[in-house]
Copies of this chain bind each other. A is one copy, B any other.
Amino acid sequence: MALNILIGGAAGQGIDTTAAILEQLLKHAGYYVYATRDFMSRVRGGHNFILIRFGPDRITSHSDRIDCLVALNEESVQLHASQLADKGFILCDSSIPTDDSRAIHIEMTNTAKDLGNPRVFGSVAIGALLRLLSLDLVHIAETLKRHVPSSALDLNITAAEQGYDMVAPRLSEPAGDYRHYLTVSGNQALALGALASDVRFYAAYPMSPSTGIMEFLAEHGKDCDIVVEQAEDEIAAINMALGASFTGVRAMTGTSGGGFCLMVEALGLSGIAEIPLVVCDVQRPGPGTGLPTRTEQSDLRFVISAAQGEFPRMVIALRDQQDAYEQTIRAFRLAERYRIPVIILSDQYLADTTSTVEPFMLTKSAAEREANDNQDLADTTPKTSAFDNGYRNYQLTEDGITPRVYPGHPNYFAAADSDEHDELGHITESPEVRHQMMNKRMRKLDKLKTELQEPRLIGSPKCKTLLLGWGSLMGPLEEAIALLEKDHPGQVSALVFGDIFPLPVGQLQALAPQAKRLVHVEQNATGQLASLIRESTGISCHSGILKYDGRQLSGEEIVSRLKGEIIHE
């Protein structure tokens, strides 16, 4: 079981800090904590909220049913009181007018004022909430220390203590053993994966919801030897990443869909010049500026076919924080191994959701170079001139992969060329060479396909209904399958794709024939995964659960829509 706290208020009221402190306190109390953010695209005012679910076991989805509503303003009560579970309560300042019987009014604002700093009212709420949840104040000092300026630490502790004394315990939830786990968002996990991969250069232009990656890397730039460069635009960002990668460092760029548009041409440059590149697209609802701070999975078809012409690429959709870390490491590896662009597809839901995660495996191996990426090439062919000295940047090889050298090599020259070129990298107009070069590049996909990861199967392979999803819907689908197990044991399973282009089709082709119903579940309007599956395998889904209002499907919502729209059919 799990409890669910909603902290609601206006932008600028500090709900983000309040939530961060609470998440940490709960984890220190041993809970598994899963917190999702619903923010407007504004800096002050409006209505924002954070949902914090916690309990003794793993949690993989948010839920709209809440147990504690912490309302920092009146609007939060009005908007969310109806979501309260039976035994739920509303914690709010005494100034907030509500006759809801579940309301617990405390003096947040006045206490803070009396303490001499109106901004500590959040700590009053935290203290009170801990008591209401039957928890203690043991970790309050060390936790607050990480979130408030040291000059205000004592005051905040006092505020929490006073809040604690204002109420009596109401709910209690058994704890787990997650004290030593990480609290990490999708963006942070991705950035950590990049650090573990020895990324040395990250260029980007600020864009929600991807900016967190840049900020996290910048914070640790000096210590970890990465240059984080804010580019003048996204075109510069990706061309910078390519320029850096060309010299031999691992390089990356990140953005959201609108910025990705501006990177498209250089994606093709990565393809034809065979310069390894990792690009992250943290999706948000489009088209255009769309809904900047919300979530969607609608860039799949776009990133799969972005850029003129044809070249090998790989697209990996991140499914959770663990995946974000591991797949980022894999992205660097594969980009380097195949000298191709690898696109990491994340989304706002995953990027901004913090979850309790087992500390990541961190070894030197993620930073090690691929075999084709070395500076000690044997001088196999005779040197015919300074330029053609036996090493060929685009040598035609059986698997299409050519070893790389970097500028500064004592014997060879590194060359990159966006025009069609011969093995040396010189412009060519020869139809034969063009044909060979296209084949060489596309051939890399043959080998790449052999190391694709099949989608994760949740539930029994012998299900009646097989849900097909991708990316950040894995968590909600996992919860949905667990919920369905109760009423329909073994009937509904889910297949969730991480590697998504090229699409690994083995598992799908094995399971699809025996399932009665194939239902794709996606955060978009056109069913992009379904169309990709049809294109790749000829398999058609029978129906779909689509959501494209900028809010993520929860496990519960998937279940109810499945029952409402699909199963009754």
Which residues of A are interface residues toward B (Cβ below 8 A)? 40-41, 46, 235, 256-258, 260-262, 264-265, 268-269, 271-273, 283-292, 294, 296, 298-299, 301-302, 304-311, 418-420, 429, 431-432, 434-435, 438-439, 442, 524-526, 531-532, 534-535, 538, 540, 548-551
Give complex CA distance A291, B417 in Å: 12
Residues of B contacting A309 with CB < 8 Å? 257, 285-288, 290, 296, 298-299
Q: Establish whether residues A307 and B287, one from each chain, have CB atoms under 8 Å apart when the complex forms.
A: yes
Q: Top 5 nearest A-B pairs by Cβ distance?
A: A286-B309, A257-B308, A288-B418, A268-B287, A287-B309
Q: How far is the CB of A253 from chain B (nearest CB, A)?
A: 15
20 contacts across the A-B interface (CB closer than 8 A) = A41-B429, A261-B265, A261-B268, A261-B306, A272-B289, A273-B288, A283-B308, A286-B307, A286-B309, A287-B307, A287-B309, A287-B310, A288-B418, A290-B419, A291-B434, A298-B308, A438-B525, A438-B548, A535-B535, A538-B538
Residues of B contacting A434 with CB < 8 Å? 285, 291, 548-550
Residues of B contacting A235 with CB < 8 Å? 262
Known: A265-B262, A269-B287, A431-B551. A526 touches B419 (CB 8 A): no
Known: A269-B288, A419-B290. A260 touches B549 (CB 8 A): no
Residues of B contacting A264 with CB < 8 Å? 261-262, 264, 306
Residues of B contacting A420 with CB < 8 Å? 285, 290-291, 550
Q: Which residue of B286, B292, B305 contacts A302 across the interface (Cβ within 8 Å)? A: B305
Residues of B contacting A435 with CB < 8 Å? 548-549
Interface core residue of A296, A307, A309, A540 (most chain B CB under 10 Å): A309
Residues of B contacting A524 with CB < 8 Å? 310
Residues of B contacting A41 with CB < 8 Å? 419, 429
Q: Establish whether residues A299 and B288, one from each chain, have CB atoms under 8 Å apart when the complex forms.
A: no
Q: Establish whether residues A549 and B257, one from each chain, have CB atoms under 8 Å apart when the complex forms.
A: no
Nearest CB to that of A537 among chain B residues?
Answer: B534
Q: How far is the CB of A439 from chain B (nearest CB, A)?
A: 8
7 new A-B contacts, CB < 8 A, other than A287-B307, A291-B434, A434-B549, are A272-B289, A284-B308, A285-B434, A286-B308, A290-B418, A290-B420, A298-B310
Give complex CA distance A307, B299 in Å: 8
Residues of B contacting A305 with CB < 8 Å? 301-302, 304-306
Q: Establish whether residues A308 and B256, one from each chain, have CB atoms under 8 Å apart when the complex forms.
A: yes
Q: Establish whether residues A442 and B291, one from each chain, have CB atoms under 8 Å apart when the complex forms.
A: no
